[in-house]
Amino acid sequence: MSYSEYTPCQDKVRGRKFNRDMMKYQERHCPAKEEFMLCLIPAPLNYKTPFKWPQSSDYAWYHNIPHRELSIEKTVQNWIQVEGNRFRFPGGGTMFPLGADAYIYKLIPLTNGHIRTAVDTGCGVASFGAYLLTRNILTISFAPRDTHEAQVQFALERRVPAMIGIMGSQRLPYPARALDLAHSKDSTLQSTRYSPTLMMISEHHGHECGTIRFIPDALRIIYERGLIGTYQDWCEGFSTYPRTCDLIHAKGVFTIYQDVQCDITYILLEMDRILWPEGSVIFRDTVELLVKIKSITDGMRWKSQIVYHESGPFNPEKILVAVKTYWTGEATHRQP
């Protein structure tokens, strides 16, 4: 069960090999090809299907993220509370312990439609982004995998779009001039001198709720439409915890990568890692590639079926619909 929260490109042990200058030790550092893990990542024992949106904004099951640390460490700031077998999110944050709604209302005009997309750095459990979602503003929340254990994982369990990340020496994986609003708490601003950023509304001065899209050439257009997304190389791990997505839609992904030195099995294992139990994948590709994909996913505890394209059997593109079955890891028994 030690791998139930495995994040390949944000491994703490690997991160210690990098210095703390410009927060490099908390940035993405992906494993070399010979270090790739050829295995499925288990859900925790007693894992339950997450609450549906919008109830998930306020509650998460304890056994899905068995970390009480933030409920103790952030008691005064009102990030999270433990209530029996579930967590409750009161809506507080580092600088808005009484709730994100009143804090945001004082700073930002939300009713004129000028703000459609936002990014929240050092997001905590993403109460800022969760509140903006109720106002139809899509927010990408991100924070490092640091001493605030599982903060981004809590955000994802709330079904708020979130990623592991930090503003350090590396550029953020978004297009230039993409966002209407950027929000950061004061402790994350120390590293902005190293990265080109948007003007910040800073606290120092003052799954399915959305879709994260992985389309490199079209990403700028996606943001122009008021949607959100990120750049992603499927030969590497995605900057997220296991069990992030309800649905993955992969159109032509394996055609793109078939001529790249990137094993199709590792891409499928990464998709399995970020998919919730009983989550679904829709593959659109040539029948030859779909047959190969199905032969692999049949050994990954997925159920799948190849069907014709919507336009009929003569379209060379076919569709593979797959569902990841529910299963969890087993309890670890110590040797006497």
DSSP track, 202-234: EGGG-------B--TTTHHHHHHTT--B----T
Quickly count: other Cβ atoms within 10 Å of residue 309's Cβ: 13
Residue 96 backbone phi and psi in degrees, to 5: -140, 65
Band (pLDDT 50/70/90 cuts) for residue 254 is: very high
Give the CA dihedral 33, 37, 38, 41, nearest 10 degrees: -150
Task: Map tokens 């990340």 to a residue.
Answer: 165
Average pLDDT taken over every residue of the chain: 85
Residue 76 has a pLDDT of: 72
Both structure tokens of 171? 């550029």
- Distances from the Cα of 56 to the Cα of 159, 208, 309, 323, angstroms: 7, 10, 34, 22
Q: For residue 144, what are the contacts with CB-CB under 8 A and spacing of at least 6?
A: 10, 23, 26, 164, 165, 166
Region 41-68: mean pLDDT is 93
Band (pLDDT 50/70/90 cuts) for residue 114 is: confident
Could you read off the pLDDT of 270-284 as tens digits, one per residue? Answer: 999 999 999 999 999
All structural domains of the chain, each given as residue ranges with its CATH number in brackets, are: 12-243 (no CATH), 244-336 (3.40.50.150)
- How far is 141 from 203, CA to CA, in rounded Å? 15
Lowest mean pLDDT, pick from 154-158, 234-238, 255-259: 255-259
User: How far, in whole angstroms, is CA 270 from its chain's centroid?
Assistant: 13
Could you read off the pLDDT of 70-93 as tens digits, one per residue? Answer: 777 777 777 888 999 999 998 877
- How far is 242 from 181, CA to CA, in rounded Å? 28
Sheet holding 245-251, edge to edge: 245-251, 275-286, 317-324, 302-307
Task: Map tokens 């402790």 to a residue.
Answer: 187
Task: Map tokens 């550092």 to a residue.
Answer: 29
Lowest mean pLDDT, pick from 96-100, 155-159, 237-241: 96-100
Region 232-254: mean pLDDT is 93
pLDDT higher than threshold 80 for residue 334: no
Both structure tokens of 129? 């982004």
CB 60 within 8 A of CB 51: yes
Residue 132 has a pLDDT of: 92
CB 41 within 8 A of CB 272: yes
Residue 262 has a pLDDT of: 85
User: Which of these, 77, 78, 45, lies nearest to 63 by C-alpha position?
Assistant: 45
Could you read off the pLDDT of 178-213 as tens digits, one per residue? Answer: 999 999 875 454 444 434 343 534 333 324 434 555
pLDDT higher than threshold 80 for residue 227: yes
DSSP track, 32-78: PGGG---SPPPBPTT--PPPPTTGGGTEEEGGGS---HHHHHTTTTT
pLDDT higher than threshold 70 for residue 233: yes
